Amino acid sequence: MVLGDLINEFVDAGVVKAMDTLLTSSDEAQVRTSAQTVAGAFLDAAEYTENTQNDEAKKHLLASFKKNAALLVQKTWVEGDDIAVKEQVLYKLDQISAAMEAGTWSKIYPTFREIIIDIVYLMFGIQSKSKDFDEYALRIDPEFGIFWWYFSNLPATADWSDSKCYYVLLLGILFLANY
């Protein structure tokens, strides 16, 4: 796992174990429980649970995610070369919104990862691509650093069910909807 022992200074062993289970299990109940445990490390776990069980809350959350992610991108100051990255992220956000509402989570997984990587790049610049960014993120903002640890451990591509992708991506959606 990314960050090795350093993450243990910020989260307890149960969260690290839950992350491992989240990545390796195909049992929906285990995935859901593990995701909730990981959520508790950088989110309100009760809010996570509500959004896995309530369609109205999920609909509101997806709208908040899109709005807040777009605002975050729009308000990020960038050099001229990165204006295209901003435009591309906003375009991708529009493109995945319908798929999120339709529940085709496995199809949007790669695009969602690209969006998160691009947003973090827009926020932190080239430093986000450095090998010590994980540690830097934990030190400057532990909540964000824990989120980045979670995100960095997700595979670039995943052959997971829609429900597993939903539980995994919900963590990122909740984080960005409230960041």
User: What is the C-alpha radius of gyration for the chain, rounded to an integer number of angstroms?
Assistant: 16
Amino acid at 39: A
**Stated pTM of the model:** 0.88
Backbone angle region of 125, left / alpha / beta, with phi > 0 → left and psi within -120 to 50 → alpha: left
- Please give the structure tokens belonging to residue 32: 């859901």
pLDDT digits (tens, 9 = 90+) for 95-118: 998 888 888 899 999 999 999 999
The CA distance from 160 to 156, in Å, is: 12
For residue 36 the two structure tokens come to 């909730």
Number of CB atoms found within 10 A of residue 152's CB: 16
| Per-residue pLDDT tens over the stretch 43-69 | 876 677 766 667 788 888 888 899 999
Contact at 8 Å (CB) between 98 and 144? no
Q: What is the pLDDT of residue 45?
A: 66
Cα separation, 18 vs 39, in Å, equals 10
The residue assigned the tokens 């829609």 is 162
CA angle 93, 97, 100 (to 5 degrees): 125
Instruction: Copy the structure tokens of residue 38.
Output: 């990981």
In this predicted model, what pLDDT tens digit does every residue of 114-163 receive, in sequence order? 999 999 999 998 999 999 999 999 999 999 999 999 999 999 999 999 99
